[in-house]
Structure 1
Amino acid sequence: MTAPIRVPGAGPEPSPPPARAALPRRPVPGTGALRETGQLMTLAATTVRDTFRRPFQMRELIEQFWFVASVTILPAALVSIPFGAVIALQVGSLAQQLGAQSFTGGASVLAVIQQASPLIVALLIAGAGGSAICADLGSRKIREELDAMEVMGVSPVQRLIVPRVLATMLVAVFLNGLVSVVGTAGGYFFNVIVQHGTPGAYLSSFSALAQLPDLYISEIKAVIFGFIAGIVAAYRGLHPKGGPKGVGDAVNQSVVITFLLLFLVNVVLTAIYLQLVPQKGA
């Protein structure tokens, strides 16, 4: 249908139709979480890539390694004793009810080495070392030091993040061995002294059930958990929202997110290990 032809001077111009009001755009559910996940994965990939770039910050790595180790080694040794004791007491009590006291040592040691040791180390690194890393990077961010580094052509990832992530991984590997030994010794002591177990039966059951891949999976978990603790702390430190309060919130968020990821990844790695590696005596 064609518009009518208007003759000049035949009356007032008709008013244009009112414009349709634009509807407010609603945020897509989950977009923020997906964006955060993508940025975290991008940072992880960039960190892995820059690890092999030169120059390598060896001095920064040594300083960060010493710092993370100094704030976690004593708490790790102290926490591993009650963990080993609780596991040994619980397993020993169940073994007595089932009449399988001879398997107390093997079950306790496997639980400490495979599960408790890497988790204890990772949680302590995230709570002590990771929070310090997040606070350090967050304070540099709000002071615009990281922006100044980028302007000068220096990569903050290569200069600051790579040494810190490698330090958390190395500390996790070394502390994992310490916690495994101390936790096993604590479980042995409480089983023999408190529950009146037999030292020979404890050691023989351990040698009958344990195998070398159990130690391998423990160290692999420690490396992965240390990487997760370091990369999450670095990511939250690079993205503080606000001033000093935002840095404090980022530290809290990094610890909570690391804890959730650690337990989730631990379940996945344990399931894969039990499916791929046949257990001794099975």
Structure 2
Amino acid sequence: MTLDVFVLLVRTPFAWREFLLQSWFVARVSILPTLMLSIPFTVLLVFTFNILLTEFGAADFSGTGAAFGTVTQIGPIVTVLVVAGAGATAMCADLGARTIRDELDALRVMGVNPIQVLVVPRVLAGMLIALMLSSLVILVGLAGAFAFSVFVQDVTPGAFVAGLTLLTGATDVAVALAKAALFGLAAGLIACHKGISVGGGPAGVGNAVNETVVFSFMALFLINIVATAVGMKVTL
């Protein structure tokens, strides 16, 4: 299926309407969990890091730790949790329901390739929304870290902002966004494969959704480890 998706990506016609609908669908189920997870994760990181910096008398470098942690790890990790836990499961359930209703077989009888009209738009939508979610997590997380550091831990606002780019540059942001795109690609492929290969009626759809979560977490954390190691080699 993955090979079919890559081959059909460059073939016409492209299902633009399905792509836009799936992008909105995945964004709708993912945006709230993203906002609810990004701030606590970042605040926890900043709170712990600021305690260490305060002991060393270097609280002005709070922004440096917040930016480095949020861009390189918090953003991708939260994206992993949301894409796999909300977006991928929603796509799997949708395709699984279509499969047990024999809609995919009906498309094949009419000469329509379900991979091209259903799977490819969902995989691309997963990539796009993961990319956007990662950007949102970074922005919201840094805003939350700034507010917590300045108003709770009495860090100087100017020093916090000045330290944001001390260790974190454009290359780190590019690596983080590349990881997010890979997360969306992997989660979309896993969800679509589980959805179109489901069997056993409604119970099979539930099992496929559970398997999607497990396999997506495994794949996405593995991608995060490999991509982080490669990114460190590139940026250092």
Q: Does 1:176 pair with 2:140?
A: no
**1:112 CA displacement:** 0.7
Deviation per CA, 1:144-173, whole angstroms, max 9, x where unpaired? Answer: 221222232211110100011111111111
Partner of 1:162: 120
Partner of 2:216: 258
Distance in structure 2 (CA, Å) of the matches to 1:130 and 1:249: 14
**1:125 CA displacement:** 2.2
Moved more, 78-87 or 99-108: 99-108
Deviation per CA, 1:16-72, whole angstroms, max 9, x where unpaired? Answer: xxxxxxxxxxxxxxxxxxxxxxxxxxx222112111111100011111111111121
Q: TM-score, normalised by structure 1?
A: 0.80
Deviation per CA, 1:68-102, whole angstroms, max 9, x where unpaired? Answer: 11121222122211111111101111222334323
Q: Once superposed, what is the RMSD of the aligned Cα atoms?
A: 1.4
Distance in structure 2 (CA, Å) of the matches to 1:125 and 1:85: 21
CA contact (8 A) 1:118 1:172 kept: no
The count of aligned residue pairs is 236
Deviation per CA, 1:113-152, whole angstroms, max 9, x where unpaired? Answer: 1111122123212222211111111122222221222232
Partner of 1:67: 25
Q: TM-score, normalised by structure 2?
A: 0.95
Identity of paired residues, percent?
Answer: 44
CA contact (8 A) 2:130 2:180 kept: yes
Highest RCO, 1 vs 2 (Cα 8 Å, sep ≥ 6): 2
Name which of 101, 107, 128 aligns with 1:143.
101
Moved more, 134-143 or 61-70: 134-143
Partner of 2:41: 83
Map 1:18-37; keep pairs closer than 5 Å. none
Distance in structure 2 (CA, Å) of the matches to 1:267 and 1:99: 32
Distance in structure 1 (CA, Å) of the matches to 2:197 and 2:114: 13
Moved more, 154-163 or 90-99: 90-99
Gapped runs of 5+ residues in structure 1?
A: 1-42
Name which of 156, 159, 165 aligns with 1:201.
159
Give the number of the structure whose residues are more often helix, by fraction: 2
Distance in structure 2 (CA, Å) of the matches to 1:208 and 1:129: 34
Distance in structure 2 (CA, Å) of the matches to 1:271 and 1:106: 20
Distance in structure 2 (CA, Å) of the matches to 1:155 and 1:119: 34
